[in-house]
A and B are shown apart, each in its own frame.
Chain A
Amino acid sequence: MTGSRDAGAPAVELAGIAIAFTLSDRSTYRAVQGIDLQVAAGEFVAIVGPTGCGKSTLLNASAGLLQPSAGTVRIFGTPLAGLNRRAGYLFQQDALMPWKTALDNVAVALEPAGIGRGEARARALEWLGRVGLKGFADRYPHMLSGGQRKRVALAQILIRDPEILLMDEPFGPLDAQTRQIMGNLLLDLWAADRKAVLFVTHDLEEAIALADRVIVMSAGPAAGLIGDHPVPLARPRDIAEIRLDPEFHAIHRTIWGSLRAEVQRAYAQGEAAP
């Protein structure tokens, strides 16, 4: 039960996870079922799947924001109780405090660690520089573009130096060019100290370009994992250029083969739904 890193234990381990929700009409919706997944320390794992398959649900369970109805979440070998203190979570929606400036939003992340205001602000300024926002410290979130807000959020997560990064379609709301820039920024920052990453996306190309391993999820309800594909592309990678690599295409073809049927199934369900 100590917080120390158990050598060899995976950073995140989901064992037999099932998650169910009680709907408003008291019926139960089984979102995911029988999930076994391990993310090694320093490994970048992406989960792809059709919309609404429960990818984010898995992330919330790994973060401790959601209690699975069955199974165990282990963080570096220790069963997770309460919130996952060793993880940073990058949300899909805007999660910055709108009443704080970019600088204060990043600096406040150090307050729970008991770091003084002066030092926190100095380190926050340094982090804003690292994500390319040095001149934007005094801006409030509404004065920043969507991409800039994501950069602030990224700095807010990384300044705490978590051992695990959980990312829920973080670049989903951004335009194509900004997504590429953010992807490269993420890879650069990640390369510095290789944290374990669990990255959820519905964009297969993004998943292959970023990750060491791509996990494919089936369409819900009771979604499960139906594919585990290694991505042996060399690092460092450039998100834009790697898409032209023939090997990238081969991997894409393989994974898309298993994903396509699920996407069609999810789409058919969506069409059939009342």
Chain B
Amino acid sequence: MNRAVLLALQLLVALAFLLLWHVLTTVPIGGRKLLDPFFFSTPLDVLARTWKDLAGGELWRHLGITLLETVLAFATGATGGILLGFAFARRALLAAVFDPYVKAANALPRVVLAPIFALWFGLGIWSKVALGFTLVFFIVFFNVYQGVREVSPTVLANARMLGMNERQLMRHVYWPAALTWMFSSLHTSVGFALVGAVVGEYLGSAGGLGYKIQQAESVFDVTGVFSGMLVLTVFVILLDAVVTAIEKRLLVWRPAPATATS
């Protein structure tokens, strides 16, 4: 199937969905509307509200806050995950001792930490960064750990026979192997950084997309909630496109373009 036809079909699905939504919420069928616009809003209202917010400028401030939190959560989480992943993979004793605690910490649903973080770091951006950190950290940590441990023994033996010392092995063998694994989980970890930011905002903050959605919800402004969700969705799609572009540049050596987005 060629790209144009596929794109047309994809657009058709979106249009059909919007049309159905529109008809059910605005056209009376058998004397009454099947979906009450108070609870379900209408597509045109949502678009109009989104347009108004974007023109108003207030929305951009919220977007900026969420983006900053996402980037900081990803950067700190990835850095921590890489450092500890390396340490655990290279020091078997360390890994063995901390294994149950790492598993326990990872098993904890992170959302319950949000109120604690709000208490510790306040209602500003840092409590959201902390929440995103706990989500990103474990994904990157497990992938780097796996990547370092699963370096091909032949590649490693070859590098050692070439006379490489520990530092050179790190730079030429372990580090690129770990990066490969990290990038294979990049989409997931960036997504989780955003989840951490939005959930944190939703549970207590004074700015950001999560805050905006929560505000709208508290006054039963369904149009505002849907508008916030729309903006969030477009934001995630753009972020994912940026990640894909970075991935393509950094993993040129890989045989097949990475399609796994587990």
Contact = CB atoms under 8 A, between A and B. Distances in A.
Interface of A: 63, 65, 83-85, 87-89, 91, 93-101, 108-109, 111-113, 140-142, 153, 156, 160
Contacts, number: 67
Contacts of A100: 172, 176, 253
B218 interface: no
B161 to A, nearest CB: 4
A84 B157 CA distance: 12
B161 A88 contact: yes
B97 interface: no
B180 A94 contact: no
B165 A83 contact: no
Interface residues of B, number: 22
Contacts of A101: 253
A100 B162 CA distance: 15
Contacts of B168: 111-112
Contacts of A160: 162-163
B211 to A, nearest CB: 42
B7 interface: no
B106 interface: no
Interface string B140-172: 000000000000101101111111110010001
Contact of B157 (A87, A95, A99, A109): A95
Given A99-B176, A100-B253, A112 B162 contact: yes
A160 B161 CA distance: 11
Interface string B24-45: 0000000000000000000000
Nearest to B251: A99
B154 A91 contact: yes
Nearest to B151: A97
B255 interface: yes
A184 B253 CA distance: 30
Nearest first, the 9 A-B pairs at minimum CB distance are: A112-B163, A95-B158, A142-B255, A140-B253, A99-B176, A89-B161, A93-B154, A95-B154, A99-B253
Interface of A: prevailing SS: loop
11 contacts: A65-B157, A89-B158, A89-B161, A91-B158, A94-B155, A97-B159, A97-B172, A98-B253, A111-B168, A112-B162, A140-B253
A99 B154 contact: no
B91 interface: no
Interface of B: prevailing SS: helix
A172 to B, nearest CB: 13
A99 B155 CA distance: 11
Contacts of A111: 164, 168, 172
B254 interface: yes
Contacts of B173: 97
A97 B177 CA distance: 9
A121 B88 CA distance: 34
Nearest to B256: A142
Interface string B156-198: 0111111111001000110011001000000000000000000
A156 B161 CA distance: 11
A112 B165 contact: yes
A156 B155 contact: no
B1 interface: no
Given A95-B155, A97-B176, A108-B172, A140 B160 contact: no
B161 A112 contact: no
A88 B152 CA distance: 19
Contacts of A87: 161
B252 interface: yes
Nearest to B163: A112
A65 B162 CA distance: 12
Contacts of A93: 152, 154
From B152, B163, B172, B173, residue with most partner A Cβ within 10 Å: B163
A61 B222 CA distance: 73
